[in-house]
Each structure stands twice: as structure tokens, then as C-alpha cells.
Amino acid sequence: MKRIFNQVIFSALLGMFFISCQSSGEKKKTGTVNSDQPAAETANNQPVQAAEKVHQENAVYKKYCLVCHQADGSGVPGMYPPLGKGSWTGKDPKELVLILTNGLKGKVEVNGEFYNSEMPAQPQLTDEEIADVLSYIRSNFGNSFDPIDVELVKKIRGGK
């Protein structure tokens, strides 16, 4: 086990966040959305504007995330962790934003399975794209977590 810990190489900043945020709970979305129901289906019943937003979020996911995390968010066993139920998707938004902007390297454990690879940093993403793609992931693949507001992303990135 010691070896496993040695191999977990987070950036110092990320490490601090993980320690300080481990206990942050999975904030279940309140309201009428069933946790098993993909948000895309829900969005179909909503005004056109919302449907377009979902489409836009998909575009970011498709361009930067899909190749590794897969179209259904199931990831690649042993390499890229899944994003569905029980994954890190429900973690504190700060952690998620920092994973996107700083990347992640080394062995991680998700749902009792280990994944060892490198996620490249995505600093080129705008605050809007980060908010969009994280909100998309948090409301798809069986997840039903609160969306992440662009203002929060701005605050975390220090107004970048």
C-alpha cells in the first residue's frame, strides 16, 4: 500500500485541496430531477435555450474529454477513471475546477478500482467552458449534482 501512496503524485495545490475537501459531501440536486434520469432527457422538456446549452456542453466534452473518459463517461479500466455514479464528479467544485486547469497525474482510486495515468491540464478552457462541461458531467452519466456557476469558476481561477 505504501507504494501506492508514493505513486499518487498530485500537485501540491491539489493535494491540499484533497485533504481539506475529502469530507465535502455529494450535494444532491433538489427538485424534480430523478437521480437515474440523464439530464439530457429532462432538458428535452425544457425551453429551447436550455436544450442549446446542453448541446454546447456536449461540444466541450466531445472535444476535450470524450476520447479518454468515453461517450458514456465510463472511462478506461486501469487508465482513466469513470465519471458516473460514485466517481469524483460530486466533489467540491473547487477540486473539479483545479483538476481541469492543473491536470492530474498518478494512481487514483475510484469506486474501489485503481487508475494510473495522466490527465493533461486544460488551461485553454474559458471560465464559461469549464462551468459548462463540469455542469454537463454533473448532470449526466447517472449524476444529478448541482451545476457549477461560471462566477464560481471565475473566483477559483482568480479572475483569469
Partner 1 sequence: MKKLAFLIITLALWGACQLNSNKNLNSAKGIVSDKDNAGLKLPDGFSALVYADNIGHARHMAINSNGDVYVSLSNVKDGGGMVCLRDSNKDGRADIIKYHGIYDGTGIKIRNGYVYFGADTVIVRYKLTEGELVPSETPEVIAEGFTAQSQHATKPFTFDEDGFMYVTVGAPSNACQVQDRTKGSPGIDPCPILELHGGIWRFRAALLNQDQAKEGYRYATGIRNAVAITWNNVENKLYALQHGRDQLGQFYPDLYTDEQSAKLPAEEFLSVNDGSDFGWPYCYYDPVQKKKVLAPEYGGDGIKAGRCSNAENPIMAFPAHTAPNDLLFYTGSMFPERYRNGAFIAFHGSWNRNPLPQEGYYVAFVPFKGGVPSGDWEIFANGFAGVGEVKSPADAKHRPCGLAQAPDGSLFVSDDANGRIYRIAYNGQ
Give min distance, CB of 77 to partner 1, in A: 6
Best CA proximity match to 144, nearest among 20, 12, 22, 32: 32
For residue 75, state whether it binds partner 1 (rule: CB under 8 A): yes
Indicate which single residue of 11, 38, 85, 106 sits in contact with partner 1 (rule: CB under 8 A). 106
Closest CA to 53 of 145, 152, 139: 139
Which of the residues 34 through 63 are near partner 1 (CB under 8 A)?
A: 63
Tell me which of 19, 34, 52, 78 binds partner 1, using CB under 8 A.
78
116 lies in the site for partner 1, by CB under 8 A: yes
Q: In this chain, which stretch among 23-31, 33-41, 76-84, 92-100 interacts with partner 1, using CB under 8 A?
A: 76-84
Number of H helices, E strands in the chain: 8, 2
Q: Provide φ and ψ at 110, rounded to 5°.
A: -135, 125
Give me the DSSP letters along 78-111.
TTB---STTSGGGS-HHHHHHHHHH-EEEEEEET
The torsion of the CA quartet 143, 146, 25, 72, rounded to 10 degrees, works out to: 20
- Give Cα 54 to chain centroid, integer Å: 15
Q: Is 142 in the site for partner 1 (CB under 8 A)?
A: no
Specify the residue, 5 or 23, whose C-beta has the smaller distance to partner 1: 5
Binding of partner 1 by 110 (CB under 8 A): no
Distance CA 106, CA 14 (A): 12
Binds partner 1 by CB under 8 A, chosen from 66, 110, 150, 152: 66
19 binds partner 1 (CB under 8 A): no
Instruction: Give yes or no for residue 11 binding partner 1 (CB under 8 A).
Output: no
Residues of this chain that interact with partner 1 (CB under 8 A) are: 1, 3, 6-7, 9, 63, 66-68, 70-72, 74-80, 82, 105-107, 114, 116-118, 120-121
